[in-house]
């Protein structure tokens, strides 16, 4: 089912009706597909495959309006890498443009190696047969002529998985070899591993595949060491490790070679596919940085306006002229100041605020471009921080890095990976080139057992057989394996053609050799025959040596015997620099930190503690047991309990941070719509007790939580209880990490780029005392939390700097209906035990006055405000048409021990245990600005 869902365009083959198991598997896969589609429709979700499929459907009719619009908009269509196109993509192109536009399809079927992720070479062949004109590139501009000639000996005329995919002879642009002074001047080498090299053979006389790989990895490392230590040059400059690539099929094989290289002192890195510096995103970053450095040059400014950072078009530039150019130049000047003051990360954030993400995601290729832009932004940020580069130096580094990646001669190397042997997968190497490549394991292929057969049927449709058995299963598996072996040959072609001057391969007589691409090509293909057999028996060493020798005589790869060289052959080290101990002489800025609400208030030595420590359990209350009661208890106080309202449902339960963490976890996971709510609570209590153990029975805890969920929530959620708010209206455990006054800025740079805001007197930076001024300005005199402003002005708290990053987690955000539209409430659960020590708690201990005092005592007003800012920023980001006045619903602090069910006492409209507070939206907005470094004096 997973394969069927992952390849939605493939047809599901009919199962043999005589195979009940196969029918069940096929029906299950079809049912899962249908259910996925049903859920996507219900949730309003569209994948990129859905967008393509819907477009193809819209284009199906001859009189489709979509056809007319696309033909009117595009008269010439060029499609690159067409060999990786799938049937739906081709259906879109074919229906829209065939016969109505000039369509140029550019592709190389010999490099069609992405069948595993939907690339369909059959689609390419179908389109190629229908083309009115065909042209072929007959000149190889990558590889040297000696290498091209040698590669063509085994490759020329070979069919790579299909009779229509044949390797044709080509000419070479580079006439001689650019590699000079190497230990071997052969452009193409095959190193044969002999059976007598110390291997234990199986009954068939073959070497264990794992033993052979270990031997070859060591031999490969030794050969690279000889090459790098030989003083060989490429294009007249000494060959470096970074110009050598090891190409493997899977990452594990690459790691094997990497360890062997490192054992010889040769640096080696596992590289990704392609280089992000040479992508369109790299072009856009280069354009932007150049324009930021010279915003007075209108040509650079107008070029920057056309990038994704601004999203302008040539038509807009022409229509708006100098006015638009001036506005873009002003933005570029501001961004240059922002980069100098707060770094590249702040620049990326500014671009995001101008709509970079939605602008790109509206494009077909936008997701890839956005990922690359962010990736490059991260790299630019890292190098600017590491080397303290300004704008001009950063631009120069970026240009050098692009030159280094794309150059064909020794460039400046600023990245540490540049001096290391590059280890890449075949798929990662596609489109790349290296002076020297090593293919240590191209001789072998392990074919995994087939669980799902993927193949093309008689109509050329990509098909999945998930039945696992039945009359047609064996034939479908055979087709699957034939297509897999064809793609293996194309993998080999891609790997062999990455080299510019020399390629080195290996051959070994192992249990996995019979189906390996290189083995089948060298030993299985008959002269003058295009077909490469699906498998070829492995014969004795004498036969292998004779065949490889004959191929060498024809001008093919040089036949060598793999003999691991002395381990002392390593790269000649460069002259070492003198070393001296560095002195740590800078001042650590301890106020620039990652903190939390609890960390901010920890400076004041009071009993109240926060509920969100950064690592361990909840700190809703001091984690200590109550002291033993004295011998003479105030009996009158205990007798008076009955007159103080309903008893707390948690009166007999433990207290402390562990209990608070337990209750938080249970409420987070409980589904209020469960048919049996108490049973649902018991189940989650039992699960969470394994992590947060307290000496109480699960049934007792669950029974105490039932009335909590049925207690009224007060005026901010009129008529509602927690049990009546479903999971779809809850955002549970909203984790956050937000910058405090520019967490990415250095001291003295906070807010500098914004150009607004005045520091409060005596404070060079935002501090907690500035929150007090906001409270006094925005809260009415009768607000129960206004006195907290006095607490914030005490030096222990008020001097706390708001710099760095603030992290934490909001217990839950509730979406509740308002008068016109939904509102969002910040909710925090508290299990604090209030009231007299040793006296059972009742609802009266959690009345409005008592809760107000508890809020002030425990610094919860600060927590409530910070969490309100978090939700404000989240809604601003995610909610269309967001208006703080309408959508910010306020804060609920739920003191669970005081919530006694439907009969909870209500005083002045406020139920016991529920502290309701709706800070003015203007207060939340100004606090958000304060946290961003804007401190307004009052």
The CATH number of the domain where 320 resides is what?
Answer: 1.10.486.10
Q: Report CA dihedral (552, 555, 556, 559) to the nearest 10 degrees.
A: 30
In a 3-state reduction of DSSP, which class is residue 429? helix
Mean pLDDT of 575-603: 81
pLDDT at 362: 77
* Domain shared by 413 and 427, yes or no: no
Within-domain flag for 410: yes
Reply yes or no on whether the pLDDT at 632 is more than 80: no
Hey, which of 260-274, 436-450, 590-604 has the most confident mean pLDDT? Answer: 436-450
* Domain shared by 820 and 889, yes or no: yes
pLDDT at 641: 45
Within-domain flag for 470: no
CB 862 within 8 A of CB 771: yes
Within-domain flag for 847: yes
Mean pLDDT of 332-346: 90
* Domain shared by 282 and 261, yes or no: no
* Domain shared by 790 and 890, yes or no: yes
Hey, which of 334-348, 585-599, 632-646, 750-764 has the most confident mean pLDDT? Answer: 334-348
In a 3-state reduction of DSSP, which class is residue 579? coil
Task: Report how far Cα 305 is from the mean position of its chain's Cα atoms.
Answer: 28
DSSP string, 677-699: HHHHHHHHHHHHTTTS--SS-HH
* Domain shared by 131 and 168, yes or no: no
Band of residue 412 on the pLDDT scale cut at 50, 70, 90: very low
Reply yes or no on whether the pLDDT at 640 is more than 50: no
Within-domain flag for 56: yes
For residue range 487-500, what is the model confidence (pLDDT) as tens digits? 999 999 999 999 99
The enclosing H or E element of 701 equals helix 698-709
Mean pLDDT of 439-444: 96
Which has more confidence, 477 or 938?
Answer: 477
Task: Identify which of 83, 138, 137, 122 has the alpha carbon closest to the alpha carbon of residue 105.
Answer: 83
The one-character DSSP state at 109 is G
State the pairing for strand pair 499-507/434-439: parallel
Which of 117, 142, 167 finishes a domain? Answer: 142
Mean pLDDT of 723-743: 87
- Indicate the burial class of 736 (C-beta count within 10 angstroms; 0-12, 13-18, 19 or more): middle
CATH of the domain at 695: 3.90.320.10
* Domain shared by 814 and 836, yes or no: yes
Which of 396, 418, 440 finishes a domain? Answer: 418
The sign of the torsion formed by the CA atoms of 295, 299, 301, 307 equals: negative
The torsion angles phi and psi of 340, rounded to 5 degrees, stand at -65, -35
Band of residue 574 on the pLDDT scale cut at 50, 70, 90: low
The enclosing H or E element of 773 equals helix 769-778
Reply yes or no on whether the pLDDT at 634 is more than 60: no
Within-domain flag for 576: no
pLDDT at 116: 66
The span from the CA of 461 to the CA of 479, in Å, is 13
CA R_g for the chain = 35
CATH of the domain at 250: 3.40.50.300
pLDDT at 631: 38
For residue range 669-714, what is the model confidence (pLDDT) as tens digits? 999 999 999 999 999 999 999 888 889 999 999 999 999 999 999 9
Q: Which residues contact 711 (CB under 8 A, 6 or more apart)?
A: 721, 722, 899, 900, 901, 902, 904, 911, 913, 914
Reply yes or no on whether the pLDDT at 754 is more than 50: no
CB 108 within 8 A of CB 84: no
Band of residue 617 on the pLDDT scale cut at 50, 70, 90: very low
Segments in 239-390 forming alpha helices (H): 251-263, 280-293, 298-305, 314-342, 344-353, 356-361, 366-387
Band of residue 630 on the pLDDT scale cut at 50, 70, 90: very low
pLDDT at 182: 96
Lowest mean per-residue pLDDT among 618-622, 788-792, 926-930: 618-622
Within-domain flag for 597: no
The span from the CA of 549 to the CA of 545, in Å, is 6
Question: By percentage, how much of the chain surpasses pLDDT 70?
Answer: 88
* Domain shared by 762 and 613, yes or no: yes
B/e letters for 114-146, b = 16+ CB within 10 Å, e = fewer, are: bbeebbbbbbbbebeeeeeeeeeeeebebbbbb
For residue range 201-236, what is the model confidence (pLDDT) as tens digits? 999 999 999 999 999 999 999 999 999 999 999 999
Lowest mean per-residue pLDDT among 591-595, 721-725, 735-739: 591-595
Q: Report CA dihedral (717, 721, 722, 724) to the nearest 10 degrees.
A: -100
Mean pLDDT of 548-574: 78
Beta bridge partners of 917: 891
Lowest mean per-residue pLDDT among 40-44, 81-85, 622-626, 850-854: 622-626
Band of residue 287 on the pLDDT scale cut at 50, 70, 90: very high
The span from the CA of 373 to the CA of 283, in Å, is 10
Mean pLDDT of 381-398: 87
The span from the CA of 339 to the CA of 395, in Å, is 12
Which has more confidence, 142 or 609?
Answer: 142
pTM: 0.51
The span from the CA of 750 to the CA of 31, in Å, is 56
Lowest mean per-residue pLDDT among 196-205, 339-348, 399-408: 399-408
Residue 689: give the domain boundaries. 608-623+644-931
pLDDT at 94: 93
DSSP string, 184-205: ---SEEEEE--TTTTPPB-TTS
The span from the CA of 771 to the CA of 868, in Å, is 14
Mean pLDDT of 370-389: 86
Q: Which residues contact 803 (CB under 8 A, 6 or more apart)?
A: 591, 592, 593, 740, 741, 742, 743, 747, 750, 765, 766
For residue range 136-194, what is the model confidence (pLDDT) as tens digits? 999 999 999 999 999 999 999 999 999 999 999 999 999 999 999 999 999 999 999 99
Reply yes or no on whether the pLDDT at 815 is more than 90: yes
Which has more confidence, 418 or 231?
Answer: 231
The torsion angles phi and psi of 382, rounded to 5 degrees, stand at -65, -45
Reply yes or no on whether the pLDDT at 639 is more than 70: no
Which of 116, 142, 168 finishes a domain? Answer: 142
Band of residue 629 on the pLDDT scale cut at 50, 70, 90: very low
Segments in 425-515 forming alpha helices (H): 426-429, 473-496
* Domain shared by 411 and 364, yes or no: yes
Band of residue 851 on the pLDDT scale cut at 50, 70, 90: very high
Number of domains in the chain: 4
Beta bridge partners of 561: 192
DSSP string, 835-855: SSTTS--BGGGGSHHHHHHHH
Q: What is the mean pLDDT of the chain?
A: 86
* Domain shared by 716 and 811, yes or no: yes
Lowest mean per-residue pLDDT among 320-329, 414-423, 632-641: 632-641
Reply yes or no on whether the pLDDT at 364 is more than 90: no
pLDDT at 800: 85
Mean pLDDT of 613-640: 42
Reply yes or no on whether the pLDDT at 462 is more than 80: yes
Residues with catalytic function: 828
pLDDT at 275: 62
Band of residue 848 on the pLDDT scale cut at 50, 70, 90: very high
Mean pLDDT of 909-918: 95
For residue range 41-53, what is the model confidence (pLDDT) as tens digits? 888 888 888 899 9
* Domain shared by 310 and 381, yes or no: yes
Reply yes or no on whether the pLDDT at 612 is more than 50: no
CB 510 within 8 A of CB 207: yes
* Domain shared by 799 and 653, yes or no: yes
The torsion angles phi and psi of 78, rounded to 5 degrees, stand at -115, 130
Within-domain flag for 248: yes
Long-range contacts of 33-41 (CB under 8 A, 24+ apart): 33/1, 33/4, 33/5, 33/8, 36/5
Reply yes or no on whether the pLDDT at 811 is more than 80: yes
* Domain shared by 114 and 163, yes or no: no
Band of residue 937 on the pLDDT scale cut at 50, 70, 90: low
Mean pLDDT of 429-455: 92
Mean pLDDT of 87-96: 92
Segments in 434-540 forming alpha helices (H): 473-496, 517-519
pLDDT at 644: 60
Hey, which of 403-417, 563-577, 656-670, 736-750 has the most confident mean pLDDT? Answer: 656-670
B/e letters for 629-646, b = 16+ CB within 10 Å, e = fewer, are: eeeeeeeeeeeebeebbb
pLDDT at 572: 52
The enclosing H or E element of 730 equals strand 730-740
Reply yes or no on whether the pLDDT at 443 is more than 50: yes
Within-domain flag for 878: yes
């Amino acid at each position: 089912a997973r394969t069927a869902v992952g390849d939605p365009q493939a047809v599901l083959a009919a199962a043999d009706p005589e195979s009940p198991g196969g029918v069940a598997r096929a029906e299950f896969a079809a049912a899962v597909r249908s259910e996925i589609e049903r859920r996507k429709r219900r949730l309003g979700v569209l994948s990129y495959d859905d967008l393509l499929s819907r477009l193809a459907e819209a284009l199906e009719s001859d009189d489709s309006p979509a056809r007319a619009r696309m033909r009117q908009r595009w008269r010439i269509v060029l499609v690159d890498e067409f060999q990786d196109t799938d049937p739906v993509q081709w259906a879109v192109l074919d229906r829209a443009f065939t016969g109505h536009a000039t369509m140029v399809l550019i592709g190389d079927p010999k490099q069609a190696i992405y069948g595993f992720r939907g690339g369909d070479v059959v689609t390419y062949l179908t389109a190629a047969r229908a083309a009115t004109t065909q042209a072929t590139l007959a000149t190889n501009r990558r590889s040297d002529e000696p290498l091209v000639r040698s590669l063509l000996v085994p490759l020329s005329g070979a069919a790579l998985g299909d009779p229509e995919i044949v390797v044709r002879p080509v000419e070479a642009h580079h006439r001689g070899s650019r590699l000079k002074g190497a230990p071997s001047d052969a452009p193409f080498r095959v190193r044969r591993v002999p059976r007598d090299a110390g291997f234990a053979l199986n009954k068939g006389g073959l070497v264990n595949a794992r033993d052979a790989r270990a031997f070859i990895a060591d031999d490969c490392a030794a050969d690279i060491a000889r090459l790098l230590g030989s003083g060989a040059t490429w294009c007249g400059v000494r060959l470096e490790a970074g110009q050598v690539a090891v190409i493997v099929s899977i990452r594990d094989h690459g790691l094997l070679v990497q360890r062997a290289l490192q054992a010889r002192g040769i640096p080696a890195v596992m590289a990704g596919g392609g280089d992000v510096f040479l992508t369109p995103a790299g072009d856009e970053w280069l354009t932007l940085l150049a324009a930021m450095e010279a915003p007075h040059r209108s040509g650079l400014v107008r070029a920057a306006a056309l990038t994704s950072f601004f999203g302008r078009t040539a038509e807009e530039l022409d229509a708006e002229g100098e006015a638009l150019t001036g506005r873009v130049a002003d933005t570029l000047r501001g961004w240059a100041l922002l980069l100098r003051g707060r770094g590249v990360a702040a620049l990326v954030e500014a671009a995001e605020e101008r709509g970079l993400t939605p602008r790109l995601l509206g494009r077909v290729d936008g997701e890839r471009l956005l990922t690359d832009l962010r990736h490059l932004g991260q790299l630019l940020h890292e190098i600017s921080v590491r080397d303290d580069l300004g704008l001009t130096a950063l631009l120069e580094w970026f240009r050098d890095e692009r030159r280094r990646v794309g150059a064909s001669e020794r460039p400046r190397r600023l990245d540490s990976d540049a001096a290391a042997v590059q280890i890449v997968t075949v798929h990662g190497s596609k489109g790349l080139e290296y002076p020297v490549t090593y293919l240590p394991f191209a001789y072998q292929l392990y074919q995994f057992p087939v669980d799902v057969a993927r193949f093309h049927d008689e109509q050329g449709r990509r098909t999945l057989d998930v039945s696992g058995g039945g009359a047609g299963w064996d034939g479908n598996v055979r087709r699957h394996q034939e297509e897999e072996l064809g793609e293996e040959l194309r993998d080999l072609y891609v790997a062999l053609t990455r080299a510019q001057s020399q390629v080195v391969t290996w051959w070994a007589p192992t249990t996995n050799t019979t189906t390996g691409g290189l083995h089948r090509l060298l030993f299985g293909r008959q002269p003058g025959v295009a077909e490469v057999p699906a498998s070829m028996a492995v014969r004795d060493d004498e036969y292998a040596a004779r065949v490889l020798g004959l191929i060498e005589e024809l001008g093919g790869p040089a036949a060598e015997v793999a003999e691991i060289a002395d381990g002392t052959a390593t790269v000649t080290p460069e002259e070492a620099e003198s070393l001296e101990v560095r002195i740590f002489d800078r001042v650590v800025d301890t106020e620039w930190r990652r903190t939390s609400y609890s960390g901010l208030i920890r400076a004041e030595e009071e009993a109240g503690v926060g509920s969100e420590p950064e690592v361990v359990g909840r700190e809703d209350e001091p984690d200590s047991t109550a002291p033993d009661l004295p011998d003479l208890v105030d009996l009158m106080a205990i007798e008076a309990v009955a007159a103080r309202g309903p008893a707390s449902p948690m009166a007999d339960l433990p207290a402390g941070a562990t209990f608070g963490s337990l209750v938080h976890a249970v409420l987070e996971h409980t589904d209020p719509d469960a048919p049996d709510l108490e049973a649902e609570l018991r189940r989650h209590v039992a699960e969470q007790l394994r992590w947060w153990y307290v000496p109480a029975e699960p049934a007792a805890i669950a029974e105490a939580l039932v009335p909590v969920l049925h207690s009224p929530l007060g005026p901010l959620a009129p008529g509602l209880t927690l049990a009546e708010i479903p999971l779809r209206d809850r955002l549970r455990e909203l984790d956050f990490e937000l910058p405090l006054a520019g967490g990415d800025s250095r001291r003295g740079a906070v807010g500098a780029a914004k150009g607004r805001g005045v520091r409060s007197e005596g404070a060079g930076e935002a501090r907690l005392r500035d929150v007090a001024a906001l409270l006094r300005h925005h809260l009415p005199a009768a607000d129960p939390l206004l006195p907290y402003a006095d607490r914030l002005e005490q030096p222990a708290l008020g001097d706390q700097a708001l710099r760095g990053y603030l992290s934490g987690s909001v217990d839950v955000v509730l979406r509740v209906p308002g008068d016109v539209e939904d509102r969002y409430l910040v909710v925090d659960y508290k299990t604090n035990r209030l009231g007299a020590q040793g006296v059972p708690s009742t609802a009266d201990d959690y009345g409005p006055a008592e809760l107000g005092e508890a809020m002030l005592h425990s610094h919860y007003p600060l927590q409530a405000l910070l969490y309100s800012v978090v939700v404000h920023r989240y809604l601003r980001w995610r909610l269309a048409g967001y208006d703080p006045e309408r959508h910010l619903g306020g804060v609920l602090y739920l003191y669970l021990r005081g919530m006694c069910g439907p009969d909870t006492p209500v005083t002045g409209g406020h139920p016991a245990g529920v502290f309701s507070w709706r800070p003015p939206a203007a207060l939340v907005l100004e606090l958000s600005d304060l946290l961003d470094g804007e401190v307004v004096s009052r």
